[in-house]
Copies of this chain bind each other. A is one copy, B any other.
Amino acid sequence: MRDLPQLLDLIASFSKENPFPSSPNALYEPCGYILTLGGKRLRPALTLMGYELFEDNVENALSVAWAVELFHNFSLMHDDIMDAAPLRRGQPTVHHRWNTTTAILSGDVMLIYAYRFLAKAAAPENLPQLLQIFNRVATEVCEGQQMDVDFETQNSVSIPDYLRMIELKTAVLLGAALEMGAVCARTPEKDAQHLYEFGRLAGIAFQIQDDLLDTYGDPAKFGKQVGGDILQNKKTLLVLKTLETASEADVRALQQWMQTGAENPEEKVAAVRAIYDRNAIPELIAEEKKRFQQAAFLQLDAVNVPEERKSVLRNTVADLLEREY
Question: Which A positions have Cβ atoms within 8 angstroms of B?
Answer: 24, 26-27, 78, 81-82, 100-101, 104-105, 107-109, 111-113, 115-116, 119, 124, 127-128, 131-132, 135, 138-139, 142-143, 145-147, 149-150
Contact = CB atoms under 8 A, between A and B. Distances in A.
Contact of A116 (B104, B139, B147): B139
B119 A24 contact: no
B115 A146 contact: no
28 contacts: A24-B147, A26-B146, A26-B150, A27-B142, A27-B143, A27-B146, A78-B104, A78-B105, A81-B104, A82-B104, A105-B142, A105-B145, A107-B108, A108-B142, A109-B142, A111-B111, A112-B138, A112-B139, A113-B139, A115-B135, A116-B135, A116-B139, A119-B131, A119-B135, A124-B128, A127-B128, A127-B131, A131-B131
Nearest to A24: B146
A45 to B, nearest CB: 24
What is the copy number of this chain in the assembly? 2
Contacts of A135: 112, 115-116, 119
Contacts of A104: 78, 81-82, 104
B105 A149 contact: yes
Contacts of A149: 26, 101, 105
